Structure 1
Amino acid sequence: MGSTGGDSGGRSVGARDRDEEGRARNARPRDGLGRPLPYGAPGVERQPEGVVRAPEESVAEAQALLDAGKPFHAHEVFEDAWKSGPEEERALWRGLAQLAVGLTHAARGNVTGGARLLRRGAAAVQEWAADGGEARPYGMDLDGLARWARGLAQDVELTGAAADARGSAPRLR
């Protein structure tokens, strides 16, 4: 009898991709919206994870990725800031990551999930500012980002159409 697992790109059936430390990590290539592609397919370069950046660098890098239509990758930058930044800023960076993931889902055509995450991120960044954070940390316009997110959530729900990741990208500053 032959293999029961089909073609897995030369990997044994049931094998998991692992990083250098042995943690499970999907090594499949990804498209610009972070969707996994088949092994061996050309993909976009993945955003490195666990990079510690100055907050201003995080904002600039995330904006460049958003402008390029790569909100999934911008989310990775925000997630790094959330995990490595000071405790008092973690809710801010988590909210920004939710905004980027919301745009990712909306661009993938997941209207319900995208709208939900956009609204959750909007609430998080506004709550962070209301709880004693700045309304414009690192030059970011949190009120403007919250308005953008709620507007995009409403648009995708009304039209049922996927968002254009590049054309719908927010201006962080």
Structure 2
Amino acid sequence: MKRLLLFCVFCVFAFVANAQVRTFYYKDSGYWVKLDLTKKVFILDGCASEPMRVLNYKKTGNKESFTTTDNGLTTHNEFVKKSDTDYTYYSWTTPSESKEKAVIEVTTKPVTIKDELEEDRPTETVAEKNPIKSVSDGVKGLFNKGKSLFKKDKSKGRSNAGKSIKAPKSAPVDDGSMPEK
């Protein structure tokens, strides 16, 4: 019963470990944007701007959308997931004379000059790519250890009563590689 309770606790930690604060780095520059869902704020790097309140957050499939307000202008933000670490960030402001959306390619992996030069070399571990996977692997390992405690040891029931089992010796097979006598 204790093991079942421990298993449930680890599962809860695995679900809570899902990142509620995510930083998206621009691929073409050193800027970033941060989305904090626990405090419901959106922070832009640079420009010394204040955190903006996240309104109307909605996640549908691979798209996350929300709005922020600043000085009477409403900014619509969308993150569309393309792969595990790559996203496309769309933003547009209303009311505005221009209806164009700003499109920026972003990633959750920090971009540095070293990363751009050594792009082909994978340096990430599985835990860095997906922290939930590493937690779930740990939970599986603990679960399997617990399962092994309840398995019966089949070798204890057998006894040879002092008998030794020896394999019969046979002459080596001549396949042509051995020298003749």
* Greater Cα radius of gyration, structure 1 or 2: 2
Larger strand share, 1 or 2: 2
Answer whether TM exceeds 0.5 for this pair: no
TM bin (shorter chain): under 0.3
User: Hey, which of these two has a bigger chunk of helix by percent?
Assistant: 1
Give TM-score, length-normalised by structure 1. 0.23
Higher relative contact order, chain-length normalized (CA < 8 Å, sep 6+): 1
